[in-house]
Amino acid sequence: MTHSIQVKDLTLNFGAVSVLKTMNLDVAEGEFIVLLGPSGCGKSTLLNCLAGLLEPSDGEIWIKGKNVTWAEPSERGIGMVFQSYALYPQMTVRGNLSFGLKNARMPRDEIEKRVARAAEILQIGPLLDRKPAALSGGQRQRVAIGRALVRDVDVFLFDEPLSNLDAKLRSELRVEIKRLHSRLNNTMVYVTHDQIEALTLADRIAVMRGGIIQQLAAPQEIYNRPANLFVAGFIGSPSMNFLPGKTVDGGRAFEFAGNRIGLEGYEGAPGQRDKAILGLRPEHLVMQDTAEPGLTLPATVEIDEPMGADSLVWLKAGGQPVSVRVPVEKRPRAGQEVHLRVDIRHASVFDAGTEERV
Amino acid sequence: MAGNTLGARLMRNLNAKIAAIPMVTTALVVFLGGTAWTVLYSFTNSKLLPRNSFIGFDQYERLWSNSRWLTSIQNLMIYGILALVFTIAIGFLLAVLMDQKIRFEDTFRTIMLYPFALSFIVTGLVWQWILNPEFGIQHIVRSLGWDGFTFDPLNNPDVVLYGLLIAGLWQGTGFVMCIMLAGLRGIDDDIWKAARVDGIPRWKTYLFVVIPMMRPVFVTTLVIVASGIIKLYDLVVAQTSGGPGTASQVPAMYVYDYMFQAQNLGQGFAASSMMLLSVLIVLIPWAYLEFGGKKRG
Amino acid sequence: MADLTATAIPSGPRPRRRLSGRNIMIYGTLLIVSLYYILPLWVMVMTSLKGMPEIRMGSIFSPPVEITFQPWVKAWAEACTGLNCDGLSRGFWNSVRILIPSVILSIAVASVNGYALINWKFKGSEVFFTILIFGSFIPYQVMLYPIVILLREIGLYGSLSGLVIVHTIFGMPILTLLFRNYFSSIPEELFKAARVDGAGFWGIYFRIMLPMSLPIFVVAVILQVTGIWNDFLFGVVYTKPELYPMTVQLNNIVNSVQGVKEYNVNMAATLLTGLVPLTIYFISGKLFVRGIAAGAVKG
């Protein structure tokens, strides 16, 4: 496997604040990587470093086998798409697409060919002679993508490209970007704080916090086996239920508020821990009327939130709020006493001290 | 019934209407009424006191055959164009320099802007002193051994306007720099990033992307600076008193002298109406661009 | 081997010289330009601290050999305008007596205007505001004489009160704009909530708008203090010689044709006149910039 982008021990400090901490990241050729995290986690900073728009304090960046740490953005073989589109407002769409190429003294017929190709791929042919002000948000973002496209580069960088669009357009363009990736098959690095975008688009997701990559893995892996409490809580909506307790019997069972849940079938070796947390996604709990020792937890229904296809039921179990996803026709009454059957194969146990998955 | 609704309509927001009386009076009586009155009386032969004996365009004919007025207009045109071009060009260039993430930005800005806090009288008097041929720059260069050096703009009718210009630029460029800098800072950072990724050199980005984007800032600055130039008065009074001879006369001075010194109100009114006309020539196209455009869009 | 090549491998920040050509150009230009701006202040201070013999002999840029405060004393207490020889102090106190009521009145009127324009719109209120804004571009010369007549009618022509009214009138457009823009940024819900709670026009103004708008009042004060203190034209037109504000008196002292020119006294007088706005400027710092930026934004 050849590497398209390699980040080696990258560090960035703004004064005393450390934004990126000795970061390492390898991106394979043609891979779609999403940098995901809450604001201030350093994801956009990392992207700007890759683009050469920010200078690292230490470390190296390699693109296509070349050390580009000191190279100008335009020399790195990248194209970039910005959240605010950053189109040149006084130029037509055609002008926006060709400005950089003209500046690089590319022959005119080559420019025309590339603009035409980008327009065809993005279906913005009819808009070429309009100015950005006369375009809708979605059209502007297409043009912004087009500007990266005409550069004919191997690496695309997206900086929260869909954040300024409304929900409907966002999902449309999301599909569009995915289609673009499968057609062009070049490397894409995509920054977002939206986990749906991350889960749908990425080959691999890098979940970041405080300038550190918490977990770098395929979306399913991140969803099912989050590396730590932060990743577990950040990914998934509604978020994962966390039940504080301890592991007993040398790690064969989890004890929570006097109830024991057997850990047979759990992927991992939790061992004996006095303080542990059991993480359960709402869809990995099933409501039933009867108790099964070692498999269920008693709980009381508080409220439910119907969401169309299914309903999110909020319960209290052992003093902890717990949410469960149930089909709409199985909605319980408030105050009803039920038992929650735990799907332990999809559960996660975390050490309460280190917050790591065990 | 009708009376009731009328009364009710008046009573609505009564306090607000009472509070707005000063504004309404100012707008209607002073700004509109005063302007209309002056224009109307510019068609009379008022001397010491306003009289309603209308004489058509006589005052304007006299005005435009008065060499002092013609000099004033010519001076204002020359000074105005130079001041406009230089304040905006220098103000923009300084703003660009200040926008290069420099250190001591606050210090530089404080230095460039403090003259704007001073009055034109103070400005005029200081530069009168610095340009004084016996003691100022000319004297110093000569005492350095360059005996033939001549730099005495305030006493030379041919270049006196440049003497005024040096002082005017000193007073006003910092202000324009501040507006331009605010305009530059208002440009989305992503635009700069996009241009860097596109490989556009900085100067080209300024020229082809940033300046076109700042068009509204330029237009607003142009209007503010231009309407200030037309009012130019204090600086000339302090620095040259209109001299030598009538070489640095300006229209505002002409108006003042005819209204309050020469007791020829009609002339003063006619001259001030001409000033109004010149402002309208600047203002109407701007208002059309600024507000007419919005309605269409 | 690795050590030898380590410096050649790009890593970390790009190496750069502190004195790059670009930096030399930027800072060089800024320093030269700064010199142009500072020079007059320097010359003013230096000249005002020298005796006349030293001025005749030396350069206006050189610092005084022997510092004397005599010119300052003379400018303040003895300089002559016409027959009066009581110095600039008279003009200073006139200016203070003009400044304080003008600043208070103009800001009071304009802030209420701005508040009414945003929260209590009535039929035509925007029209009056537009007239006001366009009125601010009309050359003062056009309105000078009609105001003379108006002031004469109410018996205030030639008095300080008359000048206060004039400053209130001509300060109104920019200040109203300033307050209007600021008040429009205060959430309307706040105003609605206060109305639901039964507060009226003045109640809302004094208890909600005013306490929330202190920064903009400071900006307005800065704008007005410098503007009114620096005024020359209105002072000369609407007052009489014994009530002339400081700028007018300064000009009369310096540009008087009689007597021997005392440049040191002139510069001391000029500095004295500039001291009030300069103090405001250096104290207020960024608020001053905000004030002029507020003046430049479109309505």
Coil, strand, or helix at residue A294? strand
Residue C17, pLDDT > 80, answer no
pLDDT, position B170? 96
What is the least distance, in Å, from the CA of C14 to any CA of chain A?
5
H or E element, residue B246: none
H or E element, residue B128: helix B120-130
- Look up residue A2 and give its two tokens: 């050849």
- Rounded distance, CA A277 to CA A256, Å? 9
Coil, strand, or helix at residue B102? coil
Q: Residue B18 CB: number of other CB atoms within 10 A?
A: 12
Q: CB of A67 within 8 Å of any CB in chain C? A: yes
Cβ–Cβ of B200/A82 closer than 8 Å?
A: no
pLDDT, position C298? 38
Write out chain C residues lying below 8 Å of B94, CB-based.
Answer: 30, 33
Which pLDDT band, with edges at 50, 70 and 90, does C294 fall under? low
Residue A187 and residue A27 in contact, taking contact as beta carbons nearer than 8 Å = yes
CATH for B61-296 is 1.10.3720.10
Which pLDDT band, with edges at 50, 70 and 90, does B296 fall under? very low
- Rounded distance, CA B216 to CA B289, Å? 10
Residue C87 and residue C76 in contact, taking contact as beta carbons nearer than 8 Å = yes
What is the least distance, in Å, from the CA of B178 to any CA of chain A?
24
Residue A340 and residue A324 in contact, taking contact as beta carbons nearer than 8 Å = yes
Which one of B191, B196, B213 has the shortest CB-CB distance to A74?
Answer: B196
Write out chain C residues lying below 8 Å of B256, CB-based.
Answer: 141, 144, 233, 237
DSSP 8-state symbol, C120:
S
Which one of B188, B197, B204 has the shortest CB-CB distance to A74?
Answer: B197
Average pLDDT over residues C119-141: 88
- Rounded distance, CA B90 to CA B93, Å? 5
Write out chain C residues lying below 8 Å of B179, CB-based.
Answer: 292-293, 296
- Rounded distance, CA A299 to CA A332, Å? 12
Cβ–Cβ of B31/C143 closer than 8 Å?
A: yes
Cβ–Cβ of C33/B94 closer than 8 Å?
A: yes
Fill in the amino acid letter for A298.
P
- Look up residue C239 and give its two tokens: 């007052």
Residue partners of C182: CB distance under 8 A and separation at least 6: C114, C213, C216
**What residue of A is the nearest CA neighbor of B206?**
A88
Q: What count of CB pairs under 8 Å joins B to C?
A: 260
Cβ–Cβ of A99/B208 closer than 8 Å?
A: yes
C-alpha dist (Å) from residue B76 to B79, B284, C141: 5, 20, 15
Coil, strand, or helix at residue C236? helix
- Rounded distance, CA B114 to CA A48, Å? 38
Question: Which stretches of chain A drop beneath a pLDDT of 50?
Answer: none
Interface probe with B: pick from C46, C145, C164, C298, most Cβ of B within 10 Å: C145
Which one of C43, C141, C147 has the shortest CB-CB distance to B252?
Answer: C141
Average pLDDT over residues B142-146: 86
Which one of B193, B200, B201 has the shortest CB-CB distance to A82?
Answer: B193
Average pLDDT over residues C279-288: 87
Phi-psi map region of B16: left, alpha, beta (phi>0 left; psi -120 to 50 alpha): alpha
Please give the order of strands across the beta sheet that includes A296-306: A285-288, A337-342, A296-306, A310-317, A320-327
Interface probe with A: pick from B196, B198, B213, most Cβ of A within 10 Å: B198
Cβ–Cβ of C11/A68 closer than 8 Å?
A: no
Backbone angles phi, psi at C160, to 5 degrees: -65, -35
Instruction: Check the CA dihedral C229-C234-C240-C241 and report its sign.
Output: positive
Cβ–Cβ of C131/B115 closer than 8 Å?
A: no
Strands A32-36 and A204-209: parallel
Residue partners of B36: CB distance under 8 A and separation at least 6: none
Residue partners of C266: CB distance under 8 A and separation at least 6: B125, B129, C75, C253, C254
Q: CB of A55 within 8 Å of any CB in chain C? A: yes
Which one of B127, B129, B251 has the shortest CB-CB distance to C47?
Answer: B129
Q: Name chain B's partners: 3 or more CB pairs within 8 A.
A: A, C
Q: What is the pLDDT of residues C208-259, one digit of tens each?
A: 899 989 888 998 998 899 999 999 999 999 999 889 999 999 999 888 877 7
Cβ–Cβ of A56/C9 closer than 8 Å?
A: no
Q: CB of C104 within 8 Å of any CB in chain B? A: no
Interface probe with C: pick from A7, A14, A23, A70, most Cβ of C within 10 Å: A70
- Rounded distance, CA A49 to CA A58, Å? 11
Q: Which residues of C215-225 are buried (b: 16+ CB within 10 A; e: fewer)?
A: ebeebbbbbbb
Average pLDDT over residues B22-39: 93
Residue partners of B193: CB distance under 8 A and separation at least 6: A48, A51, A53, A73, A80, A82, A86
pLDDT, position B10? 67
Residue A22 and residue A43 in contact, taking contact as beta carbons nearer than 8 Å = no
Which pLDDT band, with edges at 50, 70 and 90, does C55 fall under? confident
Q: Residue C192 CB: number of other CB atoms within 10 A?
A: 11
Closest residue by Cα to residue B115 from C277, C247, C171, C31? C277
Exposure on the CB side of residue A135, measured as CA atoms within 13 A:
26
Cβ–Cβ of A48/B193 closer than 8 Å?
A: yes
Which pLDDT band, with edges at 50, 70 and 90, does C4 fall under? very low
Instruction: Check the CA dihedral A154-A159-A160-A162 and report its sign.
Output: negative
- Rounded distance, CA B251 to CA B257, Å? 10
A309 or B74, which is more confident?
B74
Q: What is the pLDDT of residues C29-41, one digit of tens each?
A: 999 999 999 999 9
Which one of B30, B111, B273 has the shortest CB-CB distance to C38?
Answer: B111
Write out chain A residues lying below 8 Å of B204, CB-based.
Answer: 103
C158 or B2, which is more confident?
C158
B3 or B200, which is more confident?
B200
DSSP 8-state symbol, A48:
H
C290 or B174, which is more confident?
B174
Strands A285-288 and A337-342: antiparallel
- Look up residue A86 and give its two tokens: 């950053």
Write out chain B residues lying below 8 Å of A82, CB-based.
Answer: 190, 193-194
Which one of C60, C142, C176 has the shortest CB-CB distance to B273?
Answer: C142
Residue C156 and residue B51 in contact, taking contact as beta carbons nearer than 8 Å = no
Cβ–Cβ of A60/C14 closer than 8 Å?
A: no
DSSP 8-state symbol, A348:
E
Closest residue by Cα to residue B74 from B152, B195, B157, B197? B157
Any alpha helices (H) in chain A, and if so which ranges? Answer: 43-51, 93-103, 108-122, 137-149, 167-184, 195-201, 219-224, 229-234
* Summary mean pLDDT of chain A: 91
Write out chain C residues lying below 8 Å of B283, CB-based.
Answer: 134, 137
Which one of C29, C55, C138 has the shortest CB-CB distance to B276?
Answer: C138
Partnered with residue B94 across adjacent β-strands are: none
Chain-centroid distance of CA A246 in Å reads 31
B121 or A250, which is more confident?
B121
Average pLDDT over residues C263-277: 93
Q: What count of CB pairs under 8 Å joins A to C?
A: 27
Range A3-233 classified under CATH 3.40.50.300 = yes
Any alpha helices (H) in A12-55, and if so which ranges? Answer: 43-51
Residue A189 and residue A99 in contact, taking contact as beta carbons nearer than 8 Å = no
Secondary structure (DSSP) of B176-212: HHHHHHHHHHTS-HHHHHHHHHTT--HHHHIIIIIHH
C-alpha dist (Å) from residue A152 to B233, C45, C123: 61, 63, 59
Q: CB of C251 within 8 Å of any CB in chain B? A: yes
C-alpha dist (Å) from residue C168 to A110, A119, B49, C126, C297: 65, 59, 26, 20, 21
Cβ–Cβ of A53/B191 closer than 8 Å?
A: no
Q: What is the ipTM of this complex?
A: 0.89
What is the least distance, in Å, from the CA of B74 to any CA of chain C?
18
Which pLDDT band, with edges at 50, 70 and 90, does B290 fall under? confident
Indicate the fold that domain A239-351 takes in CATH. Answer: OB fold (Dihydrolipoamide Acetyltransferase, E2P) (2.40.50)
Write out chain C residues lying below 8 Å of B130, CB-based.
Answer: 39-40, 43, 60
Residue A312 and residue A324 in contact, taking contact as beta carbons nearer than 8 Å = yes
C-alpha dist (Å) from residue C75 to B241, C242, C272: 21, 17, 8
Q: CB of C187 within 8 Å of any CB in chain A? A: no
Residue A248 and residue A343 in contact, taking contact as beta carbons nearer than 8 Å = no
- Rounded distance, CA A92 to CA A115, Å? 12
Could you give all domains of chain C from N- to C-terminal order, each with its CATH number?
Answer: 12-68 (no CATH), 89-296 (1.10.3720.10)
Q: Residue A132 CB: number of other CB atoms within 10 A?
A: 21
Question: Scanning the structure block, which residue is given the tokens 């990425």?
Answer: A202
pLDDT, position C87? 86
Coil, strand, or helix at residue B264? coil
Cβ–Cβ of A58/C10 closer than 8 Å?
A: no
- Look up residue B93 and give its two tokens: 């260039």
**What residue of A is the nearest CA neighbor of B187?**
A86
Cβ–Cβ of C120/B276 closer than 8 Å?
A: no
Which one of C201, C255, C270 has the shortest CB-CB distance to B241?
Answer: C255
Give contacts of C 14-43 with A, CB under 8 A. 14-15
Backbone Cα Rg of chain B:
25
Residue C19, pLDDT > 80, answer no
Q: CB of C5 within 8 Å of any CB in chain A? A: no
* Summary mean pLDDT of chain B: 89
A237 or B78, which is more confident?
B78
Domain ranges within chain B, ordered by starting residue: 61-296
- Look up residue A301 and give its two tokens: 């229904």
